[in-house]
Amino acid sequence: MKPKSITPEIIDKLYAGWISKAVGVRLGAPVEGWSFAEIRKVYGEIDGYVESYRNFAADDDTNVPVFLIRALDRLSAPEELTSQDIAHELMNASPYEHGFFWWGGYGISTEHTAYLNLMNGIAAPASGSILQNGSTVAEQIGGQIFIDVWGLVCPGAPEKAAVLAEKAARVTHDGNAVYGGIFIACCISIAYEENDVEEILKKALRFIPADCEYARVVRAVMQYHQENPDHWEQCFRYVLENWGYDRYPGNCHIIPNAAVIILALLYGKGDYDRTLNIGTMCGWDTDCNVGNIAAIIGVRGGTAAISYEKWLSPIQDLMICSGTLGSLNMQDNAQITDLLLRQVEKITGENAPEPLHSLIHQPQRLKHFEYPGSIQAMRARVSGPGALSVSHTRKKAFSGTGSLCIAGTSGNGLQGEIYQKTYYFPSDFSDSRYDPAFSPILYPGQTLRLAFLSEQEGTAVSLFVRDSRQGILQKSDSVSLSAGKWHELVWKIPADRGLALIDEAGLSLDRTAAGEIRFFLDDFYWTGTPDYEIRFERENLEDWRIGTHPGPHFEISQFTRWKGILFLENGELHLTGAGDSAAFTGDVLWKDYTVEAEITPLSGSGHYILFRAQGAMRGYAFGLCEGGAALLKNENGWRRLKSIPFSWEPGDRFSLRITVEGSSIRAQINGEAPLFFEDEENCCDTGCIGLFTTGNGHLKCSEIKVF
């Protein structure tokens, strides 16, 4: 069979499918767990978002697929993927019992149960099996709600989607929950080529056992619709009477919610808005159900079926996550589509058309604006009179076919900025769903780059970053633009010693003339090694007890935790906990750099600085151990690469220094005890930094330098 070529239509449907997943989750989230009657009483007939957010915080329905698909990204051949590969990605991406997904307790939350099984040596797929966990735990809804990406990366190839989805679902689930995962992934895959919703469902049914309960409920709702095609509320009463929550054990069983998905797809009659709204009004696990529904109907119709102003504009292409690493917790939906498109290339054996193929394989966060309607979380503001807005366009492009259009008006002139957020604070959100936390993705010492075009004369521009600590903009030298010409702007951000926390970056505009204005921006990214310092006397405790999901959520600025307690005391950062504890900062994309940390071991057997860390289960550590000092490597479990004798005592202060360049690692303590190691086997070539303790350890740290 000849591999499918990756056409513009497939690319459009891929982006539409993923961003629709985000739309559905956001639409359903405010009424998650509500009943049909409660929603009807409060909102009546839903037609669009029922809640406004400053920025929509993290959600498990998007957290899990965004990170687990990286298991496939790490392999050269899709057929090599195993359930345990996906399990490793789950353990790497998930903080220990906070954030990411619902930590409802062992034997209560399916994901929590499977995670602890994995952490205690029960490998996938046994980790999610009925044999290990029982059918009540194994057949909850998660088998299908996290599965969309495996269908999205298999356009028109449901047989491949079924194989991948089963491997993914079995990490945490079994039985009907696995069948649900296979079914949803196949629906998405089939929707690339099939327009008839009923046919999509019929074809997907071929990939699950005909006698399983999941298949029976799908067929029953389809039959009811054939006999009663006009009134979805009647169908929901039928669902409630025959497959209601009262008939199934556990917190959120898959079968009742599967019935809602089928109902909404059928009674939506192919209309994007109607389908999503019906799925929401049915109630139950609304963000999960409507996320799946939207992914299917989004692929089916592509971006042309989605109202930008109604559904996409409020999202601004932003995707907030709550994984282990803070630098991966602020993404945009085009960036995630790049990740998915790379997997489509693997599975089809074909490359995306140029220049998109080259763009999606760039090592940095490149804003290329190639997907229809994508603004990649860019924003605009003005100082004083006038207005600016951002939108996607194909009228101009520096490379490829798309760019960001900035349009507005100025009276006697206009000053403003076009920018992206590079760090988020609690005040940027309306609630703290799933405990998001962040590390900056841009630092002093790095180099900003973008291309810019003005259609009018009389505009001066400069690149800028905002130092949130001082509330000021640092700017490059101003450049006067020639109308109608692309200008490539480059600026190295000045190094900093202990003050800056950059939370914005972009372009500053200064226009003196009045009238309508229009500009274009393309290929925005940054490169280079950071040059900065963290002094913990200047860091602070971030209080995330906000909105309707307050919770006991506190973080230290710039840091995320995997496991343990992190707190500030007397101008120093403390990390302590039972067993192993770890905290992270910096960017996972850093490559070659030097990191120095001043640490004081207080108790426990191991005190380390992390470097080239790619999550909880990948990276390196160097520091103090029993009997000396050691270099460790984490490959889904720590092992010692090299050790040296070194005398140390708790309470003494030590300066740890590590330099990484390619596969070479150089480390030393207090300028002495040099250690060198060449890691030529599965070297972690990029990653962030952090602190790590073992043996019930407690350390404190006064400062960290990176250069």
Please answer whether residues 266 and 222 qualify as being in contact, where contact means their C-beta atoms are separated by less than 8 angstroms: yes
Provide the token pair at 677. Answer: 């190691």
Q: How many CB atoms lie within 10 A of CB 296?
A: 30
Q: Length of the chain in residues, anyone?
A: 707
Asked if the model's pLDDT at residue 282 lies above 90, the reply is yes
DSSP string, 433-449: TT------S--TT-EEE
Half-sphere exposure of 64 (CA within 13 A, CB side): 24
Reduced to 3 states, what is the DSSP secondary structure of residue 667?
A: strand
In 3-state terms the chain splits into helix, strand, coil percentages (rounded to 5) of: 35, 30, 40
Provide the token pair at 209. Answer: 């056992």
pLDDT of residue 392: 97
pLDDT bracket for residue 384 (50, 70, 90): confident
Please answer whether residues 168 and 111 qualify as being in contact, where contact means their C-beta atoms are separated by less than 8 angstroms: no
Average pLDDT over residues 692-707: 97
Average pLDDT over residues 495-519: 89
pLDDT of residue 511: 86
pLDDT of residue 489: 97
Q: What is the CA radius of gyration of the chain?
A: 26
DSSP letter (8 states) at residue 246: G
Asked if the model's pLDDT at residue 545 lies above 80, the reply is yes
Average pLDDT over residues 295-313: 97
**How far, in Å, CA of 374 to CA of 390, rounded?**
10
Domain architecture of the chain: domains with CATH: 8-46+65-320 (1.10.4080.10), 379-532 (2.60.120.260), 559-706 (2.60.120.560)
Provide the token pair at 118. Answer: 């994995």
pLDDT bracket for residue 92 (50, 70, 90): very high
Asked if the model's pLDDT at residue 549 lies above 70, the reply is no
Per-residue pLDDT tens over the stretch 6-36? 999 999 999 999 999 999 999 999 999 999 9
Distances (CA, A) of 122 to 70, 117, 127, 129, 466: 21, 5, 5, 10, 47
pLDDT of residue 512: 82
Residue 543's beta-bridge partner residues?
554
**How far, in Å, CA of 139 to CA of 146, rounded?**
14
DSSP string, 88-129: HHHHHHS-TTSSSS----TTTSHHHHHHHHHHTT--TTGGG-
Reduced to 3 states, what is the DSSP secondary structure of residue 284?
A: coil
Per-residue pLDDT tens over the stretch 665-678? 999 999 988 999 99
Average pLDDT over residues 119-130: 98
Q: How many CB atoms lie within 10 A of CB 683?
A: 16
From 77-86, 370-379, 484-493, 672-681, the region with the lowest mean pLDDT: 672-681
Strands 581-585 and 593-603: unpaired
Per-residue pLDDT tens over the stretch 57-90? 999 999 999 999 999 999 989 999 999 999 999 9
pLDDT bracket for residue 550 (50, 70, 90): low
Asked if the model's pLDDT at residue 530 lies above 60, the reply is yes
pLDDT of residue 26: 98
Q: Which of 138, 157, 164 lies closest to 68 in space, CA to CA?
A: 164
pLDDT bracket for residue 3 (50, 70, 90): low
pLDDT of residue 27: 98
pLDDT bracket for residue 539 (50, 70, 90): very high
Strands (E), 577-653: 581-585, 593-603, 606-615, 618-625, 628-635, 638-645
**How far, in Å, CA of 168 to CA of 166, rounded?**
5
Instruction: Return the exposure string of 127-160: e unless at least 16 CB atoms fall within 10 Å of the residue's CB, then b.
Output: bbbbebbeebbbbbbbbbbbbbbbbbbbbbbbeb
User: Phi and psi (nearest 5°) for 675?
Assistant: -130, 135
pLDDT of residue 547: 82
**How far, in Å, CA of 189 to CA of 178, rounded?**
17
Over the chain, what is the mean pLDDT?
96
pLDDT of residue 514: 80
pLDDT of residue 245: 96
**How far, in Å, CA of 478 to CA of 487, rounded?**
12
Distances (CA, A) of 575 to 22, 335, 579: 35, 33, 12
**Helix (H) / strand (E) containing 202:** helix 197-205
Asked if the model's pLDDT at residue 647 lies above 80, the reply is yes
**Helix (H) / strand (E) containing 184:** helix 176-191
Half-sphere exposure of 417 (CA within 13 A, CB side): 15
Distances (CA, A) of 411 to 382, 391, 406, 553: 12, 22, 16, 45
Strands (E), 376-501: 379-383, 387-393, 403-410, 414-421, 447-454, 459-467, 472-475, 479-480, 486-492
Average pLDDT over residues 522-542: 96
Query: Any idea of the CA torsion for 419, 424, 428, 429, to the nearest 10 degrees?
Result: 130
pLDDT of residue 387: 87
